């Protein structure tokens, strides 16, 4: 076979054009700059602008409704069905379009640090910078492993191709379609690179439960004694910040699996949100974003390439993508021991959840299925003055191809089997809701987390919260008592009670869809407002 045929083997793409396979960062930089795909920052990072799509196109994501997967897929707004014949037709068009481009770039990569549970991924794309993004984001095989590389899943990435809703079974010219049967992902009509990353996360969320591995949207780190901690949380809750602890080593910042042997990272890189990033608060992410090899999406810079990380004129969702080894103090190989602690983070803008509380296994499953945080004005367009509760089941609903109960039951089983302590941590507001109270002290949060992770917090006396049934520490050295019990931090106790009851009701309404799929112990956790 020719080099091009080898690089495209298994993808269905044929071409007489140039194909550049598995180029490293310098080669991809060379092509990207010569082709006008972006420019350099003053520190040598590659800067790309993604146009109209500056985030994931959630309404344009489809799963192919193949007979062999129909009964297991969680169909709905998250996983919209696409007819197999529509997918086949669109696949043929995308392959033909890619084959007609003057140049293609391919990358052969792994997803999954544990060789027993990893998959081989082949990306075919028209842009060098997207190839660099994938190379940063996934795990790069050793050169000798590339010989005879056969992909388990193929990503056909056609960012400039516009699908036809009238004939292709999609909503707009943008389409992200995943076929588990064909082991193929089509990405068309969007240059936002996060679609590449999250499409493979969706694949891992499909494959791993059948292998007895729990896939998780979480960060993970490891203490000096080798103890592993997991951090679940939606955007803005502090997942990346709190897992990046100088006293602990980072396993990964976003996607992991929990197997019988331990925890492993799915990725070989980080995809950090960098709007308003400061060198003082996040020195590791800041440094990684100011060097050759990093890819910056929709970040603004002046004519000299000096970054302005506070500038949101293109989007609030500015991103930096870099290899994991750009971060000091990481765990070699991306694998850790079985978790000793599971932390669920929420930024409660209603100001009624404790800064930390210990969860029973049933409560952990309840809060995992709930996936709660709250958004406030300024974080998203269209939000009013009042906080808005947000529930994203398993802290990652957009990436779950199976029913949430599958992942919830697996989490409960692993917590019980491995004896992990579970914690709910509120990084949101205290002393009142957003607009009245103040943001939880990061120093207090770090101190409470360190006490939880070193085992000392589990030994203190706890008291039950009357609204949510959460066990709050009664006293912790160095932490004011009124901080530990949120009701004590409110000047207006009646207002606290009313707000807590309101949030209880929101939790209950959200959990109704899961009530028929969980056991009685978890149903009993379904919190009730105090009389």
Q: What is the pLDDT of residues 199-216, one digit of tens each?
A: 999 999 999 999 999 999
Does pTM top 0.85 for this prediction? yes
**Among residues 108, 254, 421, 465, which one is catalytic?**
254
**Among residues 41, 179, 240, 499, which one is catalytic?**
240
For residues 335 and 262, is the Cβ–Cβ distance under 8 A?
yes
Residue 382: per-residue pLDDT: 41
**Among residues 95, 117, 130, 239, which one is catalytic?**
239
Percent of all residues in the chain with a pLDDT value above 90, rounded to a whole number: 86
Residue 380: per-residue pLDDT: 41
* Average of per-residue pLDDT across 220-226: 95
**Among residues 20, 31, 53, 56, which one is catalytic?**
56
Q: What is the pLDDT of residues 303-358, one digit of tens each?
A: 999 999 999 999 999 999 999 999 999 999 999 999 999 999 999 999 999 999 99
Distance, first Cα to last Cα, the chain: 75
77 is catalytic: no
* Spatial distance between the Cα atoms of 2 and 184, rounded to a whole number of angstroms: 23
What band does 376 get if pLDDT is binned at 50, 70 and 90?
A: confident
CA angle 393, 394, 399 (to 5 degrees): 85
240 is catalytic: yes
**Among residues 217, 290, 340, 414, which one is catalytic?**
217
Residue spans of the domains in the chain: they are 3-37+56-211, 214-258+338-525, 269-333
* Spatial distance between the Cα atoms of 392 and 410, rounded to a whole number of angstroms: 17
The mean-pLDDT minimum among 74-83, 210-219, 253-262, 516-525 falls in 516-525
Q: Where are the beta strands (DSSP E) in 83-137?
A: 103-111, 119-125
Q: What is the pLDDT of residues 169-187, one digit of tens each?
A: 999 999 999 999 999 999 9
In 3-state terms, what secondary structure has residue 365?
A: helix
CA angle 357, 361, 364 (to 5 degrees): 55
Q: Compute the mean pLDDT over every residue in the chain, rounded to the nearest whole number.
A: 93
For residues 251 and 244, is the Cβ–Cβ distance under 8 A?
no
Where does 3-37+56-211 sit in CATH, by number? 3.40.449.10
Yes or no: is domain 269-333 CATH 3.20.20.70? Answer: no
Residue 375: per-residue pLDDT: 81
* Average of per-residue pLDDT across 101-121: 98
* Spatial distance between the Cα atoms of 157 and 61, rounded to a whole number of angstroms: 14
179 is catalytic: no
State yes or no: pLDDT of 367 exceeds 50.
yes
State yes or no: pLDDT of 528 exceeds 70.
no
Residue 282: per-residue pLDDT: 84
Residue 527: per-residue pLDDT: 56
30 is catalytic: no
Q: What is the pLDDT of residues 133-158, one digit of tens each?
A: 999 999 999 999 999 899 999 999 99
For residues 263 and 257, is the Cβ–Cβ distance under 8 A?
yes
Q: What is the pLDDT of residues 46-64, one digit of tens each?
A: 999 999 999 999 999 999 9
**Among residues 39, 43, 152, 235, which one is catalytic?**
235
Residue 379: per-residue pLDDT: 40
Residue 523: per-residue pLDDT: 78
Q: Which DSSP letter does residue 363 get? A: H
171 is catalytic: no
198 is catalytic: yes
Percent of all residues in the chain with a pLDDT value above 70, rounded to a whole number: 97
Residue 383: per-residue pLDDT: 43
439 is catalytic: no
State yes or no: pLDDT of 22 exceeds 50.
yes
* Spatial distance between the Cα atoms of 432 and 439, rounded to a whole number of angstroms: 9
**Among residues 31, 95, 135, 319, which one is catalytic?**
319
User: Domain 214-258+338-525 is in which class?
Assistant: alpha beta
What band does 478 get if pLDDT is binned at 50, 70 and 90?
A: confident
Q: Name every residue whose Cβ is closer than 8 Å to that of residue 201 and which is 6 or more positions away in sequence.
A: 215, 217, 255, 266, 399
Residue 385: per-residue pLDDT: 61
Residue 386: per-residue pLDDT: 77
Residue 529: per-residue pLDDT: 44
């Amino acid at each position: 076979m020719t080099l091009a045929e080898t690089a495209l083997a298994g993808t269905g793409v044929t071409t007489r054009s140039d194909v550049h396979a598995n180029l490293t960062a310098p080669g991809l930089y060379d092509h990207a700059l010569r082709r006008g795909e972006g420019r350099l920052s003053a520190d040598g990072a590659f800067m790309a602008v993604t146009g109209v799509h500056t985030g994931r196109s959630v309404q344009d994501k489809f799963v192919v409704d193949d007979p062999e997967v129909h009964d297991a897929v969680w169909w709905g707004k998250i996983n919209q069905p696409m007819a197999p014949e529509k997918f086949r037709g669109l696949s043929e068009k995308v392959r033909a379009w890619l084959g007609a481009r003057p140049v293609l770039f391919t990358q052969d990569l792994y997803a999954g640090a544990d060789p027993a549970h990893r998959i081989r991924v082949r990306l075919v794309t028209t842009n060098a910078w997207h190839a660099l993004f994938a190379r940063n984001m996934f795990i790069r095989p050793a050169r000798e492993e590339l010989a005879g590389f056969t992909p388990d899943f193929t990503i056909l990435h056609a960012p400039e191709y516009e699908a036809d809703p009238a004939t292709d079974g999609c909503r707009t010219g943008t389409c992200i379609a995943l076929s588990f049967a064909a082991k193929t992902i089509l990405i068309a009509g969007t240059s936002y690179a996060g679609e590449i990353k999250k499409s493979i996360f969706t694949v891992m969320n499909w494959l791993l439960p059948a292998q007895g591995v729990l896939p998780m949207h979480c960060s993970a780190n490891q203490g000096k004694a080798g103890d592993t901690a997991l951090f679940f949380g939606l955007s803005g809750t502090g997942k990346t910040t709190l897992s990046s602890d100088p006293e602990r080593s980072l396993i990964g910042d976003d996607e992991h699996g929990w197997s019988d042997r331990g925890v492993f990272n799915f990725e070989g890189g980080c995809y950090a949100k960098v709007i308003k990033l400061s060198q003082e608060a996040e020195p590791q992410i800041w440094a990684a974003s100011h060097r050759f090899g990093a890819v910056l999406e929709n970040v603004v810079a002046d004519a000299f390439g000096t970054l302005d990380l506070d500038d949101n004129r293109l989007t609030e969702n500015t991103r930096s993508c870099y290899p994991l080894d750009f971060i000091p103090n990481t765990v070699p190989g991306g694998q850790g021991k079985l978790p000793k602690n599971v932390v669920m983070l929420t930024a409660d803008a209603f100001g009624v959840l404790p800064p930390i509380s210990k969860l029973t296994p049933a409560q952990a499953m309840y809060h995992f299925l709930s996936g709660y945080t709250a958004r406030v004005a300024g974080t998203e367009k269209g939000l009013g003055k009042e906080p808005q509760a947000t529930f994203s089941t398993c802290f990652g609903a957009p990436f779950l191809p199976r029913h949430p109960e599958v992942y919830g039951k697996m989490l409960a089983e692993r917590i019980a089997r491995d004896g992990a302590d579970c914690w709910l941590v509120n990084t949101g507001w205290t002393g009142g809701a957003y607009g009245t109270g103040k943001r939880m002290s990061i120093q207090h949060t770090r101190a409470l987390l360190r006490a939880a992770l070193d085992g000392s917090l589990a030994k203190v006396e706890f008291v039950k919260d009357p609204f949510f049934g959460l066990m709050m520490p009664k006293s912790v050295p160095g932490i004011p008592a009124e901080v530990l019990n949120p009701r004590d931090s409110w000047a207006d106790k009646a207002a606290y009670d009313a707000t807590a009851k309101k949030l209880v009701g929101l939790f209950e309404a959200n959990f109704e869809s899961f009530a028929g799929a969980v056991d009685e112990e978890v149903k009993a956790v379904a919190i009730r407002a105090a009389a």
